[in-house]
């Protein structure tokens, strides 16, 4: 008896290429960064919460005072959080800020800190500026520690960019605390020269340049 082998049909090259693209898109080992250790994962999650805290506090204070500093820096913090979230996606790290609304935190320590800082900042514009100083000093210390501990070049670049920005934000809030009234009338986010209802001072220093130093000391994304 003669056995006849049926030849296996060859897959067209176009199909093979399409399959390869799909595999890479859905995260084969070639497309994934290596897993982070527990300490690096925890630090990345902590930095996400730091950025959300800053954004949420500044966004809330921007509703109380007709001062461009808070709204401008809050917008910057949203960009910073997005950069951290991009890293968490790349390294398959759970995002502790996912699904949390303004002023809501899954971490009880961050929730208590948000509540305390908003209460302090609601007292006066000077107090709000001091809250900004406090937040940026915390961020700077956390970022310096994170930079010293990381061994991943892409994470290092992002942390460095955020450090540069936090130092710029700190200068803006320090200037605001030193002289809350030394700002041109009409510069506030609502176009009004004075404070919003119940606030004690008019608009403060324009912080639209808060992140200019961000790209200068580039060890980060």
Q: How far apart are CA 184 and CA 179, in angstroms?
A: 12
Q: Is residue 221 part of a domain?
A: no
DSSP-derived letter for residue 92 is T
Torsions phi, psi for 131 (to 5 deg): -60, -45
Q: Is residue 90 part of a domain?
A: yes
The answer to whether 196 and 62 have CB atoms below 8 angstroms apart is no
Q: How far apart are CA 173 and CA 177, in angstroms?
A: 6
Supply the pLDDT for residue 10. Answer: 53
In this structure, how many other beta carbons lie within 10 angstroms of the beta carbon of residue 56?
Answer: 25
Q: Which domain holds residue 169?
A: 36-215
Could you tell me the pTM of the whole model? 0.71
Q: Is residue 211 part of a domain?
A: yes
Assign residue 75 the CATH number of its domain: 1.20.1260.10
Q: Is residue 170 part of a domain?
A: yes
Q: Is residue 66 part of a domain?
A: yes
Q: Is residue 14 part of a domain?
A: no
Q: How far apart are CA 171 and CA 21, in angstroms?
A: 47
Q: Is residue 1 part of a domain?
A: no
Tens of pLDDT along the chain (221 residues) come to 454 555 545 544 444 334 333 333 333 333 455 789 999 999 999 999 999 999 999 999 999 998 899 999 999 999 999 999 999 999 999 999 999 999 999 999 999 999 999 999 999 999 999 999 999 999 999 999 999 999 999 999 999 999 999 999 999 999 999 988 864 333 333 333 334 444 444 333 333 333 433 333 333 33
Helix (H) or strand (E) holding 157: helix 153-178
Q: Is residue 55 part of a domain?
A: yes
C-alpha count within 13 angstroms, C-beta hemisphere, residue 135 = 36
Total structural domains within the chain: 1
Q: How far apart are CA 213 and CA 89, in angstroms?
A: 26
The answer to whether 202 and 181 have CB atoms below 8 angstroms apart is yes
Q: Which residues contact 175 (CB under 8 A, 6 or more apart)?
A: 204, 205
């Amino acid at each position: 008896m003669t056995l006849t082998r049926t030849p296996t049909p060859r897959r067209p090259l176009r199909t093979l290429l399409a399959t390869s693209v799909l595999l890479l898109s859905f995260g084969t080992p070639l497309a994934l960064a290596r897993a982070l250790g527990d300490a690096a994962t925890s630090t990345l999650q902590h930095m996400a919460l730091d950025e959300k805290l800053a954004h949420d506090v500044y966004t809330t204070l921007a509703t109380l005072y007709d001062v461009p500093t808070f709204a401008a820096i809050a917008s910057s913090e949203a960009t910073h959080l997005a950069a951290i979230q991009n890293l968490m996606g790349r390294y398959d790290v759970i995002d502790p800020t996912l699904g949390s609304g303004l002023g809501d935190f899954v971490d009880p320590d961050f929730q208590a800190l948000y509540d305390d800082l908003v209460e302090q900042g609601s007292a006066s514009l000077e107090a709000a500026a001091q809250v900004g100083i406090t937040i940026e000093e915390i961020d700077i210390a956390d970022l310096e520690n994170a930079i010293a501990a990381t061994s991943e070049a892409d994470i290092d670049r992002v942390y460095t960019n955020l450090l540069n920005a936090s130092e710029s934000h700190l200068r803006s809030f320090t200037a605001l605390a030193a002289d809350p009234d030394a700002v041109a009338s009409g510069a506030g986010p609502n176009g009004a020269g004075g404070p919003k209802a119940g606030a004690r001072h008019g608009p403060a220093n324009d912080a639209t340049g808060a992140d200019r130093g961000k790209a200068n000391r580039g060890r980060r994304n």
